[in-house]
Every structure is written in structure tokens, then in C-alpha cells.
Structure 1
Amino acid sequence: MSRKRARKAAPDASRLARRSRVALLVFAAALAVRLVYLAEASSDPSFDVPIVDSQSYDQHARLLVSEGTFYNRFFWQGFFYPFFLAGTYLVSGGSILFARLVQIVLGSCMCALVCALGEKLFDRRIGCAAGMIAALYGPLVYYDAEILDAGFSAIWAIALLLLCLRAREAKSALPALLFGVVGGLAVATRATFAPFFLASAVWLVLAPRETGAARLRAAARAGFLAAGFLAAALPVASLAHRATGEFSFLPQSGPLNLFIGNNPDRNATIMIRPGSEWRELTRMPTVQGSPSDAEDRRVFMRRFIDYVKSEPGGYAAGLAAKAVEFASSRELPRNESMYVARDRSRLLSILVWKAGPFGFPFGLLLPLAVAGIAMFPRRFPAPVYLFLALYAAAVVAVFVSGRYRAPVVPVLAVPAAAGLLRLVDLARARLWPRAAALAASVAAVAVASSVAGPFAAERHDYRAEMHTIVGFELMKRNRTREAYEELSEALRVHPGWGDAHKYIGLLMSGERRHEEAAAHFGKALEQDPDSYFLRYYLGTTLLNLGKRAEGFAELRAAREGAVEAKEDELIRQIDRILGPGSPGDAPPGGVDASGGTAR
């Protein structure tokens, strides 16, 4: 009997060894590609100066490490990623490089998991091809090295599918427990995982069972699945309650994001830029009389619901338009553009590019995946279809960017590999009519995914904005010379870029170069004449130049705008300068143009 078991175990061990070698090969290739990109990207000024969402994550993580407490803004976005980032900072002394290295190792492991999924659904050949697609997929390479949650979201996507399928097959309830835990972590990273997790959990628990024992195992799986999810989600909700007063594991930004992506002027709200425009949007409930952060969220949720009720046709049209954006071959930017990042990396320039309206690599991945699914529909179990449909629907329900689309890529890599290898096999067999028909269908989907647009998110100058935001972050770190270089580069790219003029004006004011500061503030005002902060900066600068009448006129105009916007701190600063009586009562001497904070 023992000899029979030994003979049976030998092929199993051999298969496992071969699988391990293939997965290790995919992992090594993915890691090599990501290390090359990381080395090239390290020369960029933003490498150690996170900006926009990356800056928020970095700030949350550093405050958690330094103070050991969770504050309310920590829960604005998904909980998991800044918590993970804090862990890397804790063990590395706050090294951003270490965090990026950990992420690219995990991203390389994700490619090995793609290989495992492909082999599970097809064979080793397709598994290897799918893993290599993920390893060489430019946007995944980019996101794995960024201080963003997109790389982790891709990891959760493939891990959830593998665990769900394993939980269905296993007699043990442990895979169901792990599926629940990973589901909780995925939802705590991006709430858009919630619809898929719920649907796949129902599929897992309610799938047909033939015997009483099978039904008992299904009930046990349900219990372990729920326990796993709650083990991940409840601590997050408890921490959120302590910090914000609300017991929820979902991010607080949800209502605002729903409003941004669903309103009569959706393209305008989606293109609200970081800085003063974003501040104006987030303060809108306060200006309207909202007394608390919780009420702010309710204001945005009511506006979203009112829009759906009052304009159902417009809402439906918006969803359709966003679905087209989701399927676009191009990588739609959010606050940063991957196409700008190509400037710093030859490798990324090869792996991500546009040719007219066509975008690579999604413009090839999607058509090949569609072909693979069309040719082998029964190879893909229900969770794969559920994920592709429900995750995409969750993103479309809010708003679309390439970053939020990233989790579908490792899943699409498997049918794309099947479609690609089928085309190769037809060509090798010299079945030219069938190969031509398949190639034509792939080309047709590629064209269909490219013709729409350009979309609102593609019409912005992200290069000038990137240099401006990096310059501003360098200003905050008192790296004045580097800040000036970045801001000057922004003006070289876009001479009329208002924010760059504003920040250079603040730098000049700090160096008491008031004539130059006034000139830059004036140019910034030409771009944004309604900015009360700019009028405040210009007014104080004119006072420092001895131009009291002009200075006080600008300050009064600034005060009117500040009163309307309920900017109490700015009003107090202006009142201190204006004094209790006439302009002649204002304090003599120099005046700080920044007022302590740049807006």
C-alpha cells in the first residue's frame, strides 16, 4: 500500500516542482523589470517627494509612526494602504525607497499568482504566458513602484479569485476563512471590491450541493468566510469610530467621490485640480452652513441622490459614458499622468505608449482577452465573470481612471494569454483563414476601444502641473532652490501656468524680492481673477513695496471673497493688516505675503 502511495506521490511532486519553476521564472522576470524601472525613476524629483494622493498616504503613515494614533483624516481614503505604508516606515526608519522595494516584490509575487490562475484554468503554457503579460505590463510596473494603493489592489484581485476557487474545491474551511480575511483587506483598500466580494461569497455558499455532508461543509464555509471578513473589517471600523465617531470600514471620501462622478457637470468636477480648486469643492458644505465633517458627507450624498432622482436620463447617460472610458485603450489620468512618467524611464516608454488614439498595452490586452473569453467561455468559472463585471461596474458607478482600472488587468491577462496563444497556434498550423479572422476580430475590438475621446481627463497639462506640485512640496520642505527649479520648469512647459506663478511669487516674497513677487502674483491673477488668496498675496506684497492704496484695495477685495467663502483665519489675518480704522491705521513695516500657508 505504501508503495502505491509513493508511486502516486512521485508525479504529484514532479508537477509541483515544474509549477514552482515556472512561477519562479515569472517572479524573477517581473522583479527584474520592476527593479530596472525603479532605478530609472529614482532620478525624478518626485521620487522622494510624494505628491497629491501619494503625499496624503505618506503623511498619514508618518503621523501614525511618529504619534502612534489614528486621526480622522487617516480614514478619508482606504485604511489598509496607509497602514501598510506605516509598517514599512516603522521597520525602515521612514524610507520611501524601502516601501517601493517591498511593493515591487509583492507586485512580482502577484505575477506569479497570475501564472497560477492561468495554469489552473488552462495549462502551464497559458499560465506562463499570462504571468509574463502581467510581468511586462507597463501600468502594473508603474503602479507597483508608486506610493499608491493601485498595486495592492491588483494583488487583492488575483488573490481573491484564487482563494474563492480554492474554497469551493477544498474540504477544509481554511480557504474560506482566508478568502474572508483577504476580502476584508481588499475592501479596506478599495471599496470597489465590495460588490464582487459579496457576490462571490454568495456563489461560494449557495452553489449546489448534492449531499447532506456537502451542505454542512457549505454552512461551515459560510461561517468561516464571515469570520474572516469580520476579523479584517471590524478592527478598521472600531478605529474609525474612535477617530471620526462613525463605525465604518469604508472610506469617508465615498459620498464626495459619488458626487464628483455623478452630477450635471461631471466633466468639470472630475477635472477639479489639487490645490485651491479642490479646497473650494471640499469646503462647499461648510460655506453652505454644514457644522461637521459627518454633515459634509451627508450633503454630498444628498446631492448625488437628488441628481439620480431628478435626472435619471442624465445619470444613465453618464454611466454609459464612463463605461466607454473604462474600456478605453488609453490610460486615463487622475492627478498624475503615466504618460508624463515616461519622461523619466526608457523602459516605461517602451511598455506604455500612445499612437494617435490607440493606447498600448490595454489596447492589445482587452481585445486578446475578449477573444480568449469568446473562444473558451466554459474555461472561466463564475467568479471570473463576476469580478470583471462587478468590479468594472463599481468603478463606473463613481468615476474612471487608469489607476482604478488596474485590478482588472491581472485577471484579463489569463484570457488574453489564451487568445494570444490560440492565434499563434493557428498561424503555426497554417490555418490562415481562421488566423486572419481571429486577428481581424482582435483589431476590431482594439479600434472600438480607441475611437472614443479624447476625454476630459486627457485634455489637461499634467506635465506642468506635476512640476508645480513637486515644487510646492519642496517649498514645504524648505528646499527652496529645488522648488524654484521645478516651478521654473513648469513655466517653461506652460508659461501661463497660474499656480507656478503663485508659488514663485511666494518664494520671491520670502526672499524680499517684492517687485518680482508682485509680477508673478499679477500673472497668477490673470488666470484666476476670483482667487481671494491671490489678492491677499498681491495686496501684502504691494504694501511691502510702499504702494498702500493699491495694496489695501487688493486686501479689501480679498476680504470680500474670504467672507463669502467663510475663510475665518484669512479674514482675521486681513483685519490685522487693515487695522481697526482706515488704511492709515495699518501696521507699518513688512508684511508676510504667505500668511503662514500657501493656498
Structure 2
Amino acid sequence: MNCSRDISAAQLKREEGILWAILIAALGVRLAYLYQAVDTPLFDVLLIDSEFYDRRARAIVAGDWLGDQPFFMNPFYSYFLAVIYVLLGAEYWWVGLVQAVLGTGSCYLIYALGRKLWSAQIGLLAAGMAAIYQPYVFYDGALLTAAPITFLNLAALYCLTHAQGAARWLWGAGLLLGVSATARPMVLLFVAAVAGWFVAQGGRRGWRQWGLVAVGCGLVVGAVACRNYLVGGEWLLTTSSAGMNFYVGNHPEANGIYAQVDFLSSAEPDLEREAFIREAEARTGRELTPAQASRYWLVAGLRFAVENPLAYLALQGRKLYMFWNGVEAQNNLSLYLARDFVPLLRWCILGWGLVAPLAVVGWATSRRSSLLDLYLASYLAACLLFFTSSEYRLPVVPVILLYAACWLANAAAWATGGSHRRLLGSCLLVVLVALPINYRDAGAERLTCKRVDYYNFGTLYQRRGDWAEAESMFRKALRIDPSFAPAASGLAAVLAQQEGGDSDIQRGLEFFGAGEYEAAIAAFSRAQPSPGLHNNLGLCYYRLGQWSEAAAHFHKALALDTSYARAHFNLGLVYAKQGDDQAAADAFAQALELDPNHAQTHYRRGEVLLRLGRPGAAEAHWAFLHARNPDDARLQTKIDSMMQANP
């Protein structure tokens, strides 16, 4: 009896020692990441959502804690940052430190779930993998919602697995899920679906238990909805962006991940909100509130699904592929970009492509948790409903790690127990599952190439007036893809600024905007030559009707930068004015090679091809435009009139 108790105490002490080692390692890895990242662009400038959250947090600290319009972005993270700024200081390092602690806490909760649902061995294995899981280390150091959401959801799952009908645990789970929903509402699908789990566990008593969870969640979400009504006069559950996000994931050009729709000039939240509302108003012909605009885009996305069932089914397949694929599809900061600046990430090789195959086979060959299965299925359903991204699937990684740990524990048992044939068969199955998970088609591979990420950072530095850093970022983008026109244009503008022609260029642009083209030419002529400068001079001569001079400057721009898509387009306009439609068609074709989605180029090339007697080729360009703008009656009228004039 005493011997058994001594063995149990020794095992518990050994387990605690391993757990502490894992947690210390998890915190150490995250602090090392912060140390390497803090003096890099990852912390120097904030991108898209991070910039919004930071700006809103500073406004909250300054006293604007309520805001003056319904939330467009999920509100939790801005208030989370504001608390850190007040208590510790408005430095990004402090945010990273707090999130490093949360990430370490998530490792502990993964251990606790594994121990409760399976064994201490599985809990320790899963926590150990979480400590060095590359996307966790990255997101725990990013000013994004991923780290708090993962911690909140794990804490809620911990409460649910330990509740045993106790009201305080169920209330706690509901409150945690409610807070998580204010960071990203996808978890509400799980809150609804878990009712079935409660009923399956306890019958009618299960309904009462789920009610406590639902009420706890509803108190938090309801408070946000009341705030939205108070400041905006409309009932919105958490934000006014649900319909827009649904449309982004469900329209004719959707590709399963976040991608800007054609009428968006920027993914920055404030501009995105305005663009979606403005476009909805243009299509409906009336002013819309944020809630009405959201409903419009929701209906537009549903209409696409109903009217194009085969295309919608194919899109769902694409989302499913991207959800299970090893690529980390960013919709903000890129993990692949971060690896260029933080060497530690390159050493943390554990990622989705390694653990997901283990998890799939572990799930198939081990005892399963219906609660965790339901949680994973709910997040998968949410991604299929909207779109897939690395951040959106990150909350299910704990489930993946736990099932991967199940497989590792089974494999160890088979190896030590002499079941070598079973071990070999299971290993072969892991390899077979790993092949599709790690296969990258062209679309998935593009997400790893980083050209857009460097361009985005170049734009941020350019906006800040840091010309040297902007030039460095644009050049890195062009080294990845020399034909990337936006980076080439950005580089040209930055070089013009660095060469001292900034005041002359600024005056030239002001004259151009006022229609004083000769004065603009005089100002531009005093600046240092660059592709952008010659393009501007060409446009001035074009507006003056001096076609030869305009063409000469567009040629000079292209001599300096052959990948300058806008100069090719403008040269095509000149050729069209000179009556050389074939040369115009060729110039427009070159512009489209560099910028395939430029709408004006498609339209103009369609015009000249029609004049050249090639209506079929012209219609192909207009079909592209019509597919992107199906409700644009003016576009269709123009196309019809040209076709009638050139039968």
C-alpha cells in the first residue's frame, strides 16, 4: 500500500517536473522571439488590423472608451491593448510579453485537457508540441487577436470538461466564450452546437446546463449589442462587418481565403468599411446604414450560392483544401515574412504540415473526445461559411496537437510492445495523409512568396516618410517577382523622393490636378528623372494632345523600368489616339501581363480589338469586366453600344 503510494507520488513529481520544464521552455521561446523581433519591421510599423487595434486602443486610453459608431472590427482586442497600455505602458514589447504569458498558459491548458480526457503522457506530449509550434510562437508575438482567442477558448473547454454539472464552471465557460466571441464571433457556432453535446450527455438536464453556458455567453455578447444600439441606433450582435466578410468568402471571384474584392483600394479597416458601404449604396441607389449594408452583402453572397450551386460547391472544396493544407494563409501579417527577420522561427520547424497528419491518424486509431470533435467541426464549418486563414484555424490547433499526441503515445506503445507491423502500417498511413496536406498548388504556393508582404511594408514606410526602409522593402518585393508592378511603381516614387525632386514633383502633381498641364511639365522637368516622373510627363503631354511627346516619355519610363504596367497602358492610349490600333492592342496586352486585373486595360483593349475586327477577343475582355461587375448597368450599356456600332 505504502509502496504504491510512493510510486504514485514519484510519478506525480516527475510529471510536474516535466510540465514545469515545458512551460519554462514555452515562455523562453516566446521571449526569445520578442527579443529578435522587437527591432525589426514586425514591431516598427503596424499592418492593417494591428494598426487599427493600436489606434483604437490609444483613443480608449485618451478617454474615448465608448466610440461613436457601431463596431466594424471586433472590439475585444482594442480594449485588451488599452488595459495593457494603461497598466504597463503603450509599448508593443509589453503586449508581446503579456501574450507570451498567455501562450504559456495555453500550453498548460492543453496539458490539462489532455490529462483530463486521456492521460498525463498525452497532455505532456501535446503541451510540449505547443511550446515550440511555429505559428503559436509567431502569433503570440503579433498584435493580433489570435493569442487571446486561443487562451480564452482553451479556458472555456477546460471549464466544460471539469464542470460535471456545477453551475460555476458552466457560467465560467459561457463568459469566456462570450469574451472570445467579441474577439472573433466564429466561436458562436460552437456555443450553439454544444447544446447537442449537453443533451447527449444528460438529456433534459443537459438543456439546463447548456442554458447556463448560453446565458453566460449572451451576457457578454448582449452588452456589445446594446452598446452598438446605443451609439448607432441599430442592433448588431458584435460588428457590422459580418455581411461583408461573408461576401468576401462567397462571390464569383472568391478563392477560399481572404482576398480583396475588386472595388476595394485597401484592406485597412476604415477604408474597407467605407468602400463596402459606398459600393452597396451605388448598387442599391440609396443611402444605407452599416447594418443595412451588412445585410446587402450577406444577401449578395447567398444569392451567389443559390444561383451558382456548382461554383459554390467548388468554392467549398477549395476552402476545405485550404483549411487542411500545410500553408499558413495570412490575412494580416505573414508568418513567412516574419521568418526572414526572426531566425528563431526557422528553428521552430513544428507546423501544421507535420502535426495534422499525425492528428488525423491519431483521431482514427484512438479514443476520441466528442466535445473536442464538436469544437473542431464548428470552426471548420465557420471557415467554410466565410473563408479560411491561418488565424481562423489557429484555435483548433490544440485539438490537432492532442490527437497528434495520441498517435505518438500509441506509436511508442506499439514500438515497446513489439507490435512492429501495426506501427509500420500506422506510419504508412501518416505518410499517405501527409501527402495531400503538404501538397501546394499554385494558389497555395503564392501565399508563401512574400512579394505582397514586402510591398505592404514598403507602403507603410513610404507613408511614414522613411524612404530608405521603403526602398529596401520594395526592392525585396521585386527580387521575389521582378514583374510586380505595384512594387516597381512604389520604388520609382521613393527613388524620386530620395533624389531631391520631391518638392518639384509635389508642385507638378498639384498643377496637374488643377489642369495646368504646361506648368506641371515645367515643375516635373526640374525633378530627377525616374520611371514615375517620365510617366507623369507623358500624361501631361497626353492631356495637351501632344501624342508624340507623350509617347516619347512613356518610352523613357519603360526604358528605365520595363515592368511599369501603367506606362504600357498609357502608351496604348497614345497609340489609340494616333490611330495605330494594333500597337495599342499590343501595349495593352503587355500591361495586362504585368497587372492582369486592371479593369481599364481590359476595357480599352476590348475597344481596339473590336475596331481591328476581332469581336470574339474583345468580348473575352468585357466578359471579364462583367463577371467582376455583374450589376454595373452602365458598363453593359457601353459594351452593347460598341457592339452595335461595330457589327
Structure 1 position 299, deviation (Å): 2.3
Is 1:424 the equivalent of 2:421? no
Is 1:544 the equivalent of 2:523? yes
Of residues 350, 355, 358, the one that matches 1:368 is 358
Q: Which whole-Å deviations, capped at 9, do the CAs of 1:354-375 have from their partners, x for residues lacking one?
A: xxxxxx6212211211222222
Is 1:208 the equivalent of 2:202? yes
After alignment, is 323-332 or 476-485 more displaced? 476-485
**Paired AA for residue 363 in structure 2:** I
Is 1:464 the equivalent of 2:464? no
Structure 1 position 87, deviation (Å): 1.3
**Within 5 Å, which residues of 2 pair with 1:182-197?**
182-197=176-191
Q: Is residue 26–residue 131 contact of structure 1 (8 Å, CA) maintained in 2?
A: yes
After alignment, is 98-107 or 197-206 more displaced? 197-206
Q: Which whole-Å deviations, capped at 9, do the CAs of 1:142-201 have from their partners, x for residues lacking one?
A: 11111111122222332222211222x14x310010011011112111111111111114
Q: Which whole-Å deviations, capped at 9, do the CAs of 1:479-512 have from their partners, x for residues lacking one?
A: 4544444344444544444444554566546986
Could you tell me which residue of structure 1 aligns to residue 128 of structure 2? 132
Q: Is residue 257–residue 319 contact of structure 2 (8 Å, CA) maintained in 1?
A: no
Q: Which whole-Å deviations, capped at 9, do the CAs of 1:512-532 have from their partners, x for residues lacking one?
A: 6159969x99xxxxxxxxxxx
Q: How many residues matched?
A: 521
Is 1:308 the equivalent of 2:305? yes
- In structure 2, relative to structure 1, the CA distance for the partners of 1:177 and 1:474 (3 Å cut) is same
Task: State the distance in 2 between where 1:450 and 1:269 align.
Answer: 17
**Within 5 Å, which residues of 2 pair with 1:240-389?**
240-267=228-255, 270-272=258-260, 276=265, 278=267, 282=276, 283-288=278-283, 289-292=285-288, 293-352=290-349, 361-377=351-367, 380-389=368-377
Structure 1 position 419, deviation (Å): 0.1
Could you tell me which residue of structure 1 aligns to residue 44 of structure 2? 48
Structure 1 position 50, deviation (Å): 1.0
**Paired AA for residue 341 in structure 2:** R
- In structure 2, relative to structure 1, the CA distance for the partners of 1:552 and 1:93 (3 Å cut) is farther
Could you tell me which residue of structure 1 aligns to residue 160 of structure 2? 164
Structure 1 position 551, deviation (Å): 3.2
Q: Is residue 505–residue 516 contact of structure 1 (8 Å, CA) maintained in 2?
A: no
Q: Is residue 366–residue 412 contact of structure 1 (8 Å, CA) maintained in 2?
A: yes
**Within 5 Å, which residues of 2 pair with 1:485-500?**
485-500=472-487
Task: State the distance in 2 between where 1:447 and 1:376 align.
Answer: 22
Q: Is residue 158–residue 411 contact of structure 1 (8 Å, CA) maintained in 2?
A: no
Could you tell me which residue of structure 2 aligns to residue 60 of structure 1? 56
Q: Which whole-Å deviations, capped at 9, do the CAs of 1:382-403 have from their partners, x for residues lacking one?
A: 2111111111111121111222
Structure 1 position 124, deviation (Å): 1.2
- In structure 2, relative to structure 1, the CA distance for the partners of 1:460 and 1:135 (3 Å cut) is closer
After alignment, is 35-44 or 382-391 more displaced? 35-44
**Within 5 Å, which residues of 2 pair with 1:71-110?**
71=67, 75-110=71-106
**Within 5 Å, which residues of 2 pair with 1:375-524?**
375-377=365-367, 380-451=368-439, 453-455=441-443, 458-459=445-446, 463-503=450-490, 508=496, 513=501
- In structure 2, relative to structure 1, the CA distance for the partners of 1:543 and 1:318 (3 Å cut) is farther
Is 1:176 the equivalent of 2:182? no
Q: Is residue 191–residue 251 contact of structure 1 (8 Å, CA) maintained in 2?
A: no
Q: Which whole-Å deviations, capped at 9, do the CAs of 1:223-281 have from their partners, x for residues lacking one?
A: 53233223321221122223333323333221111111112221399433897254586
- In structure 2, relative to structure 1, the CA distance for the partners of 1:371 and 1:52 (3 Å cut) is same
- In structure 2, relative to structure 1, the CA distance for the partners of 1:61 and 1:74 (3 Å cut) is farther
Q: Is residue 69–residue 228 contact of structure 2 (8 Å, CA) maintained in 1?
A: no
Q: Is residue 336–residue 462 contact of structure 1 (8 Å, CA) maintained in 2?
A: no
- In structure 2, relative to structure 1, the CA distance for the partners of 1:320 and 1:273 (3 Å cut) is closer
Structure 1 alignment gaps of length 5 or more? 1-7, 210-214, 353-359, 522-533, 557-599
Using structure 1 for the length normalisation, give the TM-score.
Answer: 0.77
Using structure 2 for the length normalisation, give the TM-score.
Answer: 0.72
**Paired AA for residue 435 in structure 1:** L
Q: CA RMSD in A?
A: 3.8
Counterpart secondary structure, 1:76 = coil
Task: State the distance in 1 between where 2:68 and 2:433 align.
Answer: 45
After alignment, is 397-406 or 61-70 more displaced? 61-70
Q: Is residue 156–residue 177 contact of structure 2 (8 Å, CA) maintained in 1?
A: yes
Structure 1 position 26, deviation (Å): 2.5
Could you tell me which residue of structure 1 aligns to residue 582 of structure 2? none
Could you tell me which residue of structure 2 aligns to residue 117 of structure 1? 113
- In structure 2, relative to structure 1, the CA distance for the partners of 1:58 and 1:538 (3 Å cut) is farther
**Paired AA for residue 366 in structure 1:** A
Q: Is residue 256–residue 387 contact of structure 2 (8 Å, CA) maintained in 1?
A: no
Q: Is residue 514–residue 541 contact of structure 1 (8 Å, CA) maintained in 2?
A: no
**Paired AA for residue 326 in structure 1:** F
Q: Is residue 156–residue 172 contact of structure 2 (8 Å, CA) maintained in 1?
A: no
Task: State the distance in 2 between where 1:221 and 1:16 align.
Answer: 33
Task: State the distance in 1 between where 2:105 and 2:447 align.
Answer: 35
Q: Is residue 256–residue 315 contact of structure 2 (8 Å, CA) maintained in 1?
A: no
Q: Is residue 157–residue 411 contact of structure 1 (8 Å, CA) maintained in 2?
A: no
Could you tell me which residue of structure 1 aligns to residue 27 of structure 2? 31
Percent identical pairs in the alignment equals 28
- In structure 2, relative to structure 1, the CA distance for the partners of 1:276 and 1:446 (3 Å cut) is same
Task: State the distance in 1 between where 2:256 and 2:200 align.
Answer: 44
Q: Is residue 536–residue 554 contact of structure 1 (8 Å, CA) maintained in 2?
A: no
Could you tell me which residue of structure 1 aligns to residue 596 of structure 2? none
Task: State the distance in 1 between where 2:333 and 2:224 align.
Answer: 29
Counterpart secondary structure, 1:326 = helix
Counterpart secondary structure, 2:405 = helix
- In structure 2, relative to structure 1, the CA distance for the partners of 1:9 and 1:243 (3 Å cut) is farther
Structure 1 position 542, deviation (Å): 4.4
Structure 1 position 541, deviation (Å): 5.9
Q: Is residue 256–residue 319 contact of structure 2 (8 Å, CA) maintained in 1?
A: no
Q: Is residue 192–residue 394 contact of structure 1 (8 Å, CA) maintained in 2?
A: yes
Structure 1 position 41, deviation (Å): 1.7
Q: Which whole-Å deviations, capped at 9, do the CAs of 1:19-55 have from their partners, x for residues lacking one?
A: 6544433221211111112212223123131112222
- In structure 2, relative to structure 1, the CA distance for the partners of 1:434 and 1:163 (3 Å cut) is same
Could you tell me which residue of structure 2 aligns to residue 571 of structure 1? none
- In structure 2, relative to structure 1, the CA distance for the partners of 1:272 and 1:536 (3 Å cut) is farther
Counterpart secondary structure, 1:75 = coil
- In structure 2, relative to structure 1, the CA distance for the partners of 1:269 and 1:343 (3 Å cut) is closer
- In structure 2, relative to structure 1, the CA distance for the partners of 1:286 and 1:426 (3 Å cut) is same
Q: Is residue 103–residue 151 contact of structure 2 (8 Å, CA) maintained in 1?
A: yes
Is 1:230 the equivalent of 2:230? no
Q: Which whole-Å deviations, capped at 9, do the CAs of 1:37-93 have from their partners, x for residues lacking one?
A: 221222312313111222222222222222423336772222212221121122233
